[in-house]
């Protein structure tokens, strides 16, 4: 099927414009802009996993449309731990709960790990639909030390509220904007947990009890997780 542009002024055109404006404001290079989405590798891909990729790719396409060199990175979150035995898979997997999905054997025997099998299925769907991507695996990226400089910078600055707070606010804003607590409570708990741990680590006690409000939200979605974090 030949590719055809079916409209302009969509949210991804607007997002692309915002990105270009932000990069210009920050005085950063526009030589190459990368969009990225995380590929969950802890269960069978579904329409939501595919949509994450498609949306991120759409922004890369919109950037290209605006004359910017852009690429989409499909980043497999394959160091994530297995949270539960996926529906339709044998209970024998329960002994691997909490294991990174790339440390669990592939039940089907065709890949090196459970995680690589699941990632492979999603990548197949991207190939089938003509989504162009550069593939990165979290496991390989960490092993190669790709994030060492960034992690060092974050650790050195973790105590500076001003450094971390805007990122935490952005995560909260996204959770609210997408009404994630209704649509994807598991992902919402993940995001809220990041915010809670971040706020707690920067000692954000004086700012209207933000951390405890976030903890309340977690506890409503996942009481066990709320209790665990509350004790920490």
Stretch that binds Zn ion, among 1-9, 104-112, 146-154, 190-198 (CB under 5 A): 104-112
Q: Find the Cα–Cα–Cα–Cα dihedral 77, 82, 87, 93, rounded to 10°.
A: 130
Sole binder of Zn ion in the list 80, 100, 117, 175 (CB under 5 A): 117
Stretch that binds Zn ion, among 37-45, 50-58, 77-85, 106-114 (CB under 5 A): 106-114
Regarding 108 and contact with Zn ion (CB under 5 A), the answer is: yes
Nearer to Zn ion, 44 or 178 (CB): 44
Nearer to Zn ion, 7 or 109 (CB): 109
Cβ–Cβ under 8 Å, residues 204 and 210: yes
Stretch that binds Zn ion, among 17-25, 53-61, 80-88, 108-116 (CB under 5 A): 108-116
Min dist CB 138 to Zn ion, Å, is 18
Min dist CB 41 to Zn ion, Å, is 12
Q: How far is CA 73 from CA 46, 94, 198, in A?
A: 19, 31, 26
Regarding 111 and contact with Zn ion (CB under 5 A), the answer is: yes
The contact pattern for Zn ion, residues 132-151, with x = CB under 5 A and - = no contact, is --------------------
- Alpha carbon distance 61, 63 (integer Å): 5
Sole binder of Zn ion in the list 23, 36, 52, 106 (CB under 5 A): 106
Cβ–Cβ under 8 Å, residues 10 and 66: no
Which residues, 6 or more positions from 152, have their beta carbon under 8 angstroms from its beta carbon?
Answer: none
Regarding 47 and contact with Zn ion (CB under 5 A), the answer is: no
Stretch that binds Zn ion, among 107-115, 125-133, 137-145, 194-202 (CB under 5 A): 107-115
Which residues, 6 or more positions from 218, have their beta carbon under 8 angstroms from its beta carbon?
Answer: 189, 192, 193, 196, 225, 226, 229
Regarding 110 and contact with Zn ion (CB under 5 A), the answer is: yes
Stretch that binds Zn ion, among 93-101, 103-111, 170-178, 190-198 (CB under 5 A): 103-111
- Alpha carbon distance 63, 36 (integer Å): 13
Residues that bind Zn ion (CB under 5 A): 106, 108, 110-111, 117
């Amino acid at each position: 099927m030949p590719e055809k542009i079916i409209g302009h002024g969509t949210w991804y055109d607007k997002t692309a414009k915002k990105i270009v404006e932000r990069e210009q404001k920050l005085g950063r290079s526009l030589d190459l802009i990368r969009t990225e989405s995380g590929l969950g590798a802890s269960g069978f891909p579904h329409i939501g996993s595919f949509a994450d990729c498609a949306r991120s790719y759409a922004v890369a396409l919109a950037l290209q449309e605006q004359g910017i060199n852009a690429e989409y990175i499909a980043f497999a979150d394959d160091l994530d731990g297995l949270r539960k035995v996926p529906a339709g898979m044998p209970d024998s997997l329960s002994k691997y709960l909490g294991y990174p999905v790339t440390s669990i054997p592939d039940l089907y025997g065709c890949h090196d790990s459970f995680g690589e099998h699941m990632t492979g299925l999603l990548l197949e769907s991207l190939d089938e639909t003509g989504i162009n991507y550069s593939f990165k695996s979290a496991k390989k990226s960490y092993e190669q030390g790709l994030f060492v400089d960034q992690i060092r910078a974050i650790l050195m600055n973790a105590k500076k509220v001003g450094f971390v707070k805007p990122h935490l606010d952005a995560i909260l804003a996204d959770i609210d904007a997408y009404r994630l607590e209704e649509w994807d409570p598991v992902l919402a708990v993940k995001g809220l947990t990041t915010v809670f741990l971040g706020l707690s680590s920067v000692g954000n006690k004086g700012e209207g009890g933000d951390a405890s409000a976030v903890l309340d939200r977690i506890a409503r979605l996942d009481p066990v997780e709320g209790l665990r974090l509350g004790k920490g």
